[in-house]
Amino acid sequence: MKIEYSNNLKSIPPYAFAEISRKKKALREKGKDLVDLGIGDPDLPTPKGIVSAMSDAINDSSTHRYPMDAGRPDFRQAWADWCKKRFGISISASDVQATLGSKEGLCNLARAFVNPGDKVLVPDPGYPGYANGACLLSGGIPVKMPLLEENGYLPDLSAINASDAKDAKLMYINYPNNPTGAVADKAFYSDVVDFAEENEVIIVSDLPYSEIYFDKKNKPISFLEVPGAMDVGIELHSFSKTYNMTGWRLGSAYGNPEIVAALSKVKENIDSGVFEAVQMAGIYALTNYPEAPALDEYNKRMDTLVAAFNDIGIEAKKPPATFYLWAKVPAGETSASFVNKVMEAANVVLTPGTAFGEYGEGYFRASITSPSERIIEAAERIRNLK
Ligand SMILES: *Cc1c(COP(=O)(O)O)cnc(C)c1O
């Protein structure tokens, strides 16, 4: 039988990281010691307290049945309380939906709003989930909003052409930003609210990095903090990056009640919610860790990475947030040529900017999800290349 994929599935380009994974595997098979600064997955374990809370919860057999679709009431209340404390925003627990991480929420949300041929505004460079898992898999057409260094990696809303703006159903924004490390301020978010109202575009704010910041007196904000945002948008958060819980699959969606309800309806028809023991571990995390447990370690590592790269002549500034350093490749190189050279000759894994879209050309991303000694080792190896 001829197996024919749907047009939506066929429209998704090959996974940008597949080529890198292949090369990594080949080098490891040759016995090479790779320093991997390529991945966006915390290397530190989930804190013991959260693991113990999970252990208690899983020993309680009441957690073993199908979860309530939208999430446990105590989980949703804990999320609403956390948002009040952290961002000063008032959300009712009934307008919170537990998700299987932010990726699931942002992808399933598109099923609720995108008809075939509808446009979706996505950042470039950007997390590939917006254009692929969300937009293309729902039959939409991604329209790129370039994130340029000279604009602080914020999209220029006035540069979006009028017909794209009118035809767009959703706009994805993500600050603190993967891959650039940029943050957004209230002035930008207010402009986004105006744009959304004018063009009737739903705003999806993907916020998994709000707790990975380097200036404790100037923390990243939520989109929902600005007036009008609750009318036009939804925010997606995650336990993955804050609490080193990527494997657990826990996140939350909150904001405009009608938009949250649409996501809930999609989820009711696809998954049956988040394992309740995981939600209970999530409540423990929210109520016991006033900041990301790895924050001070990340701060040290980022200083080490920036200093080491500057030392070998790579221009890079410490970002305000995220565990990524976004930097220009040396003159005369492309993203791919530099990343390949560093991988093959220095056995250091970086991510080419082009893995996040065409506007990532000329840049690479290095993550601090390896210990400081390994980061220094990586910089030394790159220095010896030159
Ligand atoms: C890691 C990441 C996600 C996915 O997080 P999960 O909650 O683990 O699904 C979503 N968006 C961005 C920008 C990310 O970097």
**The domain spanning residue 149 has which CATH number?**
3.40.640.10
Same domain as 328, residue 264: no
* CB 102 near ligand 1, within 6 Å: yes
Final residue before a domain boundary, out of 270, 288, 306: 288
pLDDT at 105 over 90: yes
Structural domain contains residue 26: yes
Mean pLDDT of 189-216: 98
In this structure, the answer to whether residues 269 and 214 fall within a common structural domain is: yes
Give the model's pLDDT for residue 386: 63
Residue 383's pLDDT is what? 83
Distance 35 CA to ligand 1 centre (A): 23
Decide which of 237, 259, 288 is a domain's last residue.
288
Note whether 180 and 329 are same-domain residues: no
Are 240 and 212 in contact by the 8 Å Cβ rule? The answer is no
Which of 272, 288, 304 marks a domain boundary? Answer: 288
Q: Is 317 helix (H, G, I), strand (E, B) or coil?
A: coil
pTM of the model: 0.96
Whether residues 323 and 175 fall in one domain: no
The DSSP symbol for 296 reads H
246 phi and psi, to 5 degrees? -60, -35
Structural domain containing residue 173: 48-288
Statement to judge: residues 129 and 276 lie in one domain: yes
Cα gap 151→244, rounded to integer Å: 31
**Residue 240 predicted with pLDDT over 80:** yes
Tell whether ligand 1 has an atom less than 6 A from the beta carbon of residue 377: no
Which backbone phi and psi does 316 adopt, to 5 degrees?
-160, 140
Same domain flag for 138 and 98: yes
Instruction: Report pLDDT digits (tens) over 162-186.
Output: 999 999 999 999 999 999 999 999 9
Domain count along the chain: 2
Q: What tokens appear for 154 in the block?
A: 């914020």
263 and 313 part of one domain: no
Q: Please indicate, yes or no, whether residues 211 and 200 belong to a single structural domain of this protein.
A: yes
| Residue 107 domain flag | yes
Q: What is the 210 CA–ligand 1 centroid distance (Å)?
A: 12
Of 153, 237, 241, the residue with max ligand 1 atoms within 8 A of its CB, to mutate for a pocket test, comes to: 241
Residues 67, 63: Cα–Cα separation, whole Å: 8
Q: Is residue 2 part of a domain?
A: no
| Cβ-proximal residues to 353 (8 Å cutoff; 6+ apart), any chain | 125, 179, 326, 329, 335, 360, 361, 362, 363, 364, 365
Q: What is the mean pLDDT of the chain?
A: 96
Ligand 1 mean position, distance from CA 373 (Å)? 26
Does residue 220 sit in the same domain as residue 267? yes
Tens digit of pLDDT for each residue in 300-356? 999 999 998 898 888 899 999 999 999 999 999 999 999 999 999 999 999 999 999
Spatial neighbors of 79 by CB under 8 A, at least 6 apart, are: 91, 93, 96, 98, 237, 252, 254, 286
Domain for residue 127, yes or no? yes
Does residue 1 fall inside a structural domain? Answer: no
- Centre of ligand 1 from the C-alpha of residue 103, in Å: 5
Which residue type is seen at 313?
G
- Assign residue 19 the CATH number of its domain: 3.90.1150.10
